[in-house]
Amino acid sequence: MPSRAFGIAAFAGAALGGAALGYLAERRTLGEGPVAESHVLANPHRGRPVDVLAGDGTRLHAEVSGARGAPTMLFAHGVGLSQATWHYQREAFSGDYRIVAYDQRGHGQSDRAAEGDYTIAALGRDLAAVAEACAPTGDLVLVGHSMGGMSVLAATEQSPELLERVRAVILVNTAANLVIGGALAASLSAVLSTVHARVSGGRRTRRRLDSDDPEDRPPTDLSYLLTRQFGLSRDAPSDIVAFVEDQLRRTPPTVLGALAPHLSTVNLVEAAAALEVPTLLISATRDRVTPAPLSGRLAETLPDVEVRTIEGSGHTAMLEAPEAVTDAMARFIARTLEAQAA
């Protein structure tokens, strides 16, 4: 494997949770139960499926649910995950809002990029395409987690016609630049020797890195521990850790590798500075991927921002602290829409 690809693979394993590469290490011995033991996340919120065709021909899987005729909340998930990570919020808001959620290109039930384009600009265009297909009229609230937050910023910068309908933006555990931060440095040395020893394992290993079948990447001790370390916090419930790990296993490492250079060099500072829509920025005290200094820089950049910090949570706060995140979102949306209607 070329050195560049090896570096990208190490990034995907270390900074994004470890499930993509953990299977290359030792057999799993921790004994945590499978995600199916979670009675809630075993059956995440589903909506009416809609196929959306992106501008480059990539098929995106979206789902629509909730109240007809109400403002639309559009959810964009983070790297290596899927729309299922928004389960708690989609359930909570479906009585009062129209809910649109989708799988980003190369994730979940969406196809891989038709032309190999995994730039943040492409992700922004995808979000705009989903909005146009699933909510072509009416008020919008855009919600993004991590990479999904970057998709939101890119979409609002690129699509003035979309921005005209956006009444509020919610960014969870995200940043506008310098995303690798301390996460890669903190874990790279821990996984580097293992990855290097296994990634050169020949055609079978390369096939597993590109496979759409998560069974080609069975969970291991390393994948579980790194998912907890970077995707959540050390106190996160084991079923939540297993759920996030399972999501990561379902995303081909080659997709994570294609995204990695764009995530590591992204600069959406100008897009954030131009976003004059009321914005809620939710950060978490134990987020190792987009830690407090990164969230602080984004907060200083956004023109109209409210900041809410979730104590004790890690990088996927909407799963680890769903009640706190949902409550912050609900209060913010209600205040914002009421003020705009006055």
Residue pLDDT, tens place only, 36-57: 445 678 889 999 999 999 999 9
**Distance of alpha carbon 276 from alpha carbon 325, whole angstroms:** 22
pLDDT of residue 66: 95
pLDDT interval class at 210 (50, 70, 90): low
Mean pLDDT of 156-173: 97
**Distance of alpha carbon 101 from alpha carbon 75, whole angstroms:** 5
Of 191 and 218, the one with more pLDDT? 218
- DSSP code of 56? T
Please give the mean pLDDT across all residues of the chain: 83
Q: Token pair of 340, please?
A: 């705009």
State yes or no: pLDDT of 27 exceeds 60. Answer: no
Helical H segments across the chain, by residue range: 3-15, 19-22, 87-93, 120-134, 147-158, 160-163, 181-199, 203-210, 221-226, 238-249, 253-265, 269-273, 292-301, 317-320, 322-341
Cβ burial of 205 (10 Å; 0-12, 13-18, 19+) is middle
Q: Are strands 48-53 and 59-66 parallel, antiparallel or unpaired?
A: antiparallel
Mean pLDDT of 117-144: 97
**Distance of alpha carbon 38 from alpha carbon 34, whole angstroms:** 8
pLDDT digits (tens, 9 = 90+) for 254-305: 888 888 888 888 899 999 999 999 999 999 999 988 888 888 899 999 999 9
pLDDT of residue 166: 98
Mean pLDDT of 81-105: 97
CB atoms < 10 A from the CB of 183, how many? 22
pLDDT interval class at 189 (50, 70, 90): very low
Most confident of 164-168, 175-179, 289-293: 164-168
pLDDT interval class at 209 (50, 70, 90): low
Query: The tokens 């921002």 sit on which residue?
Result: 305
Write b or e for each residue in 53-63: b if 16 or more Cβ atoms lie within 10 A of its Cβ, otherwise e: ebeeebebbbb
The CATH architecture that domain 50-178+268-341 belongs to is 3-Layer(aba) Sandwich (3.40)
* Residues of each domain in the chain carrying CATH 3.40.50.1820: 50-178+268-341
Most confident of 21-30, 93-102, 191-200: 93-102
